[in-house]
Chain A
Amino acid sequence: MKILVTAKRVEDPESKIKVKPDGSGIVQEGLKYKINPFDEIGVEEGLRLVAKHQGEVVVVSIGGKEVQEQLRHALAMGAHRAVWVNHTGPVDQLGIAALLQKVVEKEQPDLVILGKQSIDDDQNQVGQYLAEFLGWGQATFASKVESMESEQEKNKVPAIVLTADKKSVQVIREVDNGLATVECQLPAVVTTDLRLNQPRYASLPGIMKAKSKPIEELTPAKLSVDVTPAIQVLKMSAPPARKAGIKVADVPALVEKLHNEAKVV
């Protein structure tokens, strides 16, 4: 089976993120970047499926030349080849989904796996748009019944399972009050949640091999997609700083405040 997985470049959450004084964006100098962790989980799940059923994992990223770093990371994990949509200007979630739709039509994968959202602006839209544009079934927030430390995880039992006839996938997904198992006809779009798997480490031989794996370059123009954004970011600002707490004299005073001010007891 052929699996297309996204690999978005996002700010490393360990970097210090500062908003520019004029609110036009964030300060990029000195920032580190990495693959969106939800996408990394997607790459891992794709690799596990392909290890079981044969086929290939193709990774795709949209952005300037720098996104090749994230593509190489996915290739070092074991993905077979990469598609890079070279685009440096502004783009919104609809534009991204439209570009991915064209890549999907070109690549004809059996399954598209995306992170449920990217950790930079947490929109949680592209997977759903993409399924809609393609007219495919979708299973969002693919997750796992067991905890990451479980025997099942150690034995790498997947939460996305190809059915016996190989015509659909069964996906365990996280919903508000628990887990739901859905079945989707292939081709389908799946988005990953945090507990789906523990991505493997990129090995040194993997990194060396990734150097020579092919990255195909495409552009919005080549894909005939107009990516003029419908959404404009007007201003960014840091969330308000947390105010210091207060100290109460004794337990009755605490209970009084919880009862009358916080209204929780």
Chain B
Amino acid sequence: MEFQLTDAQRALQDAARKFAREVVRPKAAHYDETATFPLDLLTTAWELGLLNMAIPAEYGGVGLSHLDQTIVAEELSWGCAGVATSIIANDLANLPIILHATEEQKKRLLTPFTEKLKFSSFCLTEPEAGSDVANMQTTARLDGDHYVLNGAKCFITNGGQASQYTVFATVDKGKKHKGITCFVVEGRPEGLSVSKHENKMGQRASETVSLTFEDVRVPVANRIGEEGQGFAIAMATLDNSRPLTAMFSVGIARAALEHSMEYSTQRRTFGKPIIEHQAIQFMIADMAMNTHAARMLTYESAWLLDEGKRNSLQSSYAKCFAADMAMKVATDAVQVYGGYGYIKEYPVEKLMRDAKLIQVYEGTSQVQRLVIARELFK
């Protein structure tokens, strides 16, 4: 058992940290305030290979291991969780292709992302089907050598910027999750419409839209896997991406911890820096301890994937613990800052808003606990 990063992992960490510190951080408050799409940051991220970390090298990507991806994810999220979510959105959308597509499909659908800046969106969630995926209402009807998609998707990251969509739809509602099938929609075909950008509480640099599909035609050649395999593909994708969202929490918490450490040595009350009050020391100790614990849980859940082992239990441990932890740590950071923490000119209230989303997206903390309990009693 090794508890230290390799030289190559440290190099990845340094590269991502430099990008986060020098490119993302200076613009984070701006994109949070304006909720505009951070195209300049994503362009630099693409040039550095951060946008397609999971695409294997044979299709021009970086092909990082899951553990290496989490190392990078912590740094990105430390810079800005909203920007990190937008950066990772491509890999999330492409995971079903990476995991389940045929060789021909991989070449055709993955390679363009490594040749020029291009966005893709993962389209699973619906107004009536979040964690309850089996209740999916979007339908796919076979018509000759095409499927015809009809329905609505919501909370779609980068949906307004994307020129490719990985869409889940059911070929037979009666079959529940056994009817769900995965498709790749290329470009912006007729019938696909995009709503306005949602005005979110946090992670405002990531674009979130709703999509409507009205008789959108998708060639059969763009079906990933077989009919009815979509549910398994979606679950496998989320098992793969959960360590990344867990690590986003760690990045937010580390930022909150660092800000708190800095502020508490400068701010004075009762004649001394507040860090000399035990009440503050205890809060900061808890922040550091829990941030590190979440990082270790997440490393383990990613390492299991790299070992080719099932990680549903551990990735739910990691995602649930890390998200709840980041919410607490960011809230405490606001507490350490006192009144100033509530003011937008200071950096910590943004962290609190950003952290909240991680308890909600890609399976709420409650759903993670359901998964954990189910796994334990298996």
A residues with a Cβ closer than 8 A to B are 34, 68-69, 72-73, 76, 201-208, 210-211
Contact = CB atoms under 8 A, between A and B. Distances in A.
A76 B53 CA distance: 16
Given A208-B62, A208-B63, A69 B53 contact: no
Nearest to A65: B7
B79 to A, nearest CB: 13
Contact of B8 (A203, A205, A211): A211
A99 B364 CA distance: 60
A210 to B, nearest CB: 7
B48 A210 contact: no
B18 interface: yes
B11 A201 contact: no
A206 B48 CA distance: 8
B18 A204 contact: no
A202 B11 contact: yes
A72 B18 contact: no
26 contacts: A68-B7, A69-B11, A72-B8, A72-B11, A73-B11, A73-B14, A76-B11, A76-B15, A201-B15, A201-B18, A201-B19, A202-B11, A202-B14, A202-B15, A203-B15, A204-B15, A204-B48, A204-B53, A204-B72, A206-B49, A207-B11, A207-B12, A207-B15, A208-B57, A208-B62, A211-B8
Nearest to A75: B11
Nearest to A69: B7
B57 A204 contact: no
A28 to B, nearest CB: 16
A207 B18 contact: no
Interface in B34-92: 47-50, 53, 57, 62-64, 72
B344 interface: no
A204 B7 contact: no
Interface of B: 7-8, 10-12, 14-15, 18-19, 47-50, 53, 57, 62-64, 72
A227 B10 CA distance: 31
B10 A203 contact: no
A201 B50 CA distance: 12
A201 B48 contact: yes
A92 to B, nearest CB: 28
A204 B8 contact: no
Given A68-B7, A72-B7, A203-B48, 17 more contacts: A69-B7, A72-B11, A73-B11, A76-B11, A76-B15, A201-B15, A201-B18, A202-B11, A202-B14, A203-B15, A203-B47, A204-B53, A205-B49, A206-B49, A208-B57, A208-B62, A208-B64
Contact of B64 (A69, A73, A204, A206): A204
Contacts of B72: 204
B10 A204 contact: no
B284 to A, nearest CB: 18
Contacts of B57: 208
Contacts of A34: 14
Contacts of A69: 7, 10-11
Most chain B Cβ neighbours within 10 Å, of A72, A202, A210: A202
B15 A210 contact: no
B8 A207 contact: yes
Contact of A210 (B11, B18, B19): B11
Contacts of A76: 11, 15
Nearest to B8: A211
Top 8 A-B pairs, shortest CB-CB distance? A204-B49, A204-B62, A203-B48, A205-B49, A202-B15, A203-B49, A207-B11, A69-B7
Contacts of A211: 8
Nearest to B46: A203
A223 to B, nearest CB: 25
Contacts of A72: 7-8, 11
B97 to A, nearest CB: 19
B155 to A, nearest CB: 28
Most chain B Cβ neighbours within 10 Å, of A76, A202, A206, A207: A207
A202 B50 CA distance: 11
Contacts of A201: 15, 18-19, 48
Contacts of A73: 11, 14
Nearest to A208: B62
A40 B64 CA distance: 25
Contacts of B49: 203-206
Contacts of B12: 204, 207
Contacts of A207: 8, 11-12, 15
A207 B57 CA distance: 13
B319 to A, nearest CB: 24
A60 B49 CA distance: 26
A95 B295 CA distance: 44
A210 B14 CA distance: 15
B114 to A, nearest CB: 9
A204 B68 CA distance: 11
A34 B10 CA distance: 11
Nearest to B50: A204
A202 B48 CA distance: 7
A72 to B, nearest CB: 6
Most chain A Cβ neighbours within 10 Å, of B62, B64, B72: B62
Nearest to B72: A204
A210 B62 CA distance: 12
Contacts of B19: 201
Nearest to B18: A201
A202 B7 CA distance: 14
A34 B13 CA distance: 13
